[in-house]
Homo-oligomer: A and B are copies of this chain.
Amino acid sequence: MTIGDPTTARSARAPLSRERVLDVAAGLADAEGLRAVTMRRVAGELGVEAMSLYHHVPGKDGLLGGLVDLVVAQVSDAVAADPAARGDAGGSGDWRVTVRARCLAARTVMLRHPWAPELIASRPTIPPGAFVLFEEVLGVMVRGGCSYWLAHKALHALGSMVLGFTQELFSPAGGDDGGGPGDAEEDLAAMAEALPYTTAMVASEMHDADDPTLGWCDSQSEFEFTLGLLLDGLARADEPGGLHRPGTAQGS
């Protein structure tokens, strides 16, 4: 109970504002997951009654919307803080290095707030701030020589990657140690029989782990690999020989 004790709540005595409400809500989600973000709980963290929140946030749904805006703003900040993502690393640069840096910046924010993709998926509309990010990517690509046709495709593909790549496929065990149905060795043998290819793959990947690429790094290298694959594929698709769209050259 490191976050909910009265001392912490009392130390957070300040004028109370929309920003403070959202910050506390985000911290709560970071620490205990989205389900812990409750009007009464957030208020408790602020040393205040639940109904006080309604003066700074338009209800629970508005609070969740504010959390999404906060995440989008953090992506904007991360992009602004990275020269490569801003695109001023050199005038003659490939659009791919800029877009790549932007995707990596967005991903760091998603890793900081693992609840963000789930929350964004649960919302009915795309947050306004996201359109600004899309606009910037479009600008980088079009000025870099891409067609609108390709840039549109890129937004879909990259957006789905940034939002979908948080989940770990094969996390080490399922927290099943201690209460399992018996021998771990036995379970492994059963899995080897039921899922032979999966077992072989896990063994193969573990064997190759000479350098210390654990947890975050593993998923990170998958992400960067796929990102590179997509960017190169996109660049190739927009070339004369590529699978260009049926229409004319540029747009409008």
Q: Which residues of A contact B (CB under 8 A)?
A: 34, 117-118, 121-122, 125-126, 131-132, 134-135, 138-139, 142, 148-149, 151-153, 155-157, 159-161, 163-165, 167, 169, 174, 194-198, 200-201, 203-205, 207-208, 219, 222-223, 225-226, 228-230, 232-234, 237, 243, 245-247, 250-252
Contacts and interface: CB of A to CB of B under 8 A. Distances in A.
Given A156-B223, A164-B164, A208-B245, 4 more contacts: A149-B204, A159-B164, A160-B161, A229-B233
Contacts of A232: 233
B157 A251 contact: no
Contact of A203 (B131, B245, B252): B252
A174 B125 contact: yes
Contacts of A223: 156
Contact of A165 (B160, B165, B207, B243): B160
A131 B36 CA distance: 29
Contacts of A222: 152-153, 156-157
A122 B126 contact: no
- What is the total number of copies of this protein in its complex? 2
Identify the 10 closest CB pairs spanning chains A and B, nearest first: A204-B251, A164-B164, A160-B164, A229-B233, A138-B197, A148-B204, A157-B226, A118-B121, A208-B247, A156-B222
Contacts of A117: 121
Is chain A's interface secondary structure helix, strand, loop, or mixed overall? helix
Which of A125, A157, A232 has the most chain B CB within a 10 Å cutoff? A157
A233 B134 CA distance: 24
Contact of A252 (B169, B200, B233): B200
B153 A201 contact: no
Contacts of A205: 148-149, 152, 251
A67 to B, nearest CB: 15
Nearest to A223: B156
Contacts of A161: 157, 160-161, 164
A252 B204 contact: yes
A138 to B, nearest CB: 4
A225 B243 CA distance: 9
Contact of A201 (B138, B200, B243, B247): B138
B203 A251 contact: yes
Contacts of A135: 194-198
A177 to B, nearest CB: 14
